[in-house]
Copies of this chain bind each other. A is one copy, B any other.
């Protein structure tokens, strides 16, 4: 029987530690094709490249694992990689492991989750993994048993059409993860602040800085799960219709 094919991408770049952790989990399950950004592509959300062509570097091919680096976005990696660089249709897409949170509203900015949503639109079961630790040297080992378990269950049960999983891991001391909580996405906001500086020629420029503020952290939210030592799993929809508001909006606008 042919092995399952797992497509892997991320937004931190093909050389990040997080994607290596993900590859090490996936290689026990099936053949692996990796196409990931050449450089860090964080914060690119669901952006794609249409105005210029894309380049691909063939990095390595050994032991059932092919690795490509692409000079586009995570979504480009999925579109181009699945279409042109896979020997057959992938059975599963995994994205990450992201260095930093994609829980709560961080999902809207996330290239990691952009790739996951793109594959879901293609009908491929897809999971994004993120760790609440930005360090390039973060320790991904304690996550692996959970990643294996989630991958196995997706392979066994599939996922509902149009639904992906957004999985986040809290910062952890080894062995301290308490288990998995399936949650809703909590609402929050970034209190942005731009630092204005002046260049040597007297022209101003602006650096983004910000502070994350989340009051919506009651039980049942991903924020609560993460603050309490659980792995959060949010089923995430490709349909952004606000169904609860359809009636009200009809009454005002039709």
Contacts and interface: CB of A to CB of B under 8 A. Distances in A.
Give the copy number: 2
A45 interface: yes
Nearest to A114: B45
Interface string A218-233: 0000000000000001
B253 A53 contact: no
A83 B192 contact: yes
Interface stretch (A15-23, A25-33, A90-98, A182-190): A182-190
B235 A187 contact: no
B185 A48 contact: no
A73 to B, nearest CB: 8
Interface string A42-84: 1111111111011110000000000000000001100110011
Interface string A223-250: 0000000000111111111111110111
Interface stretch (A1-9, A169-177, A193-201): A193-201
Given A253-B150, A253-B180, A80 B206 contact: yes
Interface of A: 40, 42-51, 53-56, 75-76, 79-80, 83-84, 105, 107-109, 111, 114, 117-118, 121-122, 150, 153, 157, 160, 162-163, 165, 179-182, 184-185, 187, 189-190, 192-194, 196-197, 203-208, 233-246, 248-250, 252-254
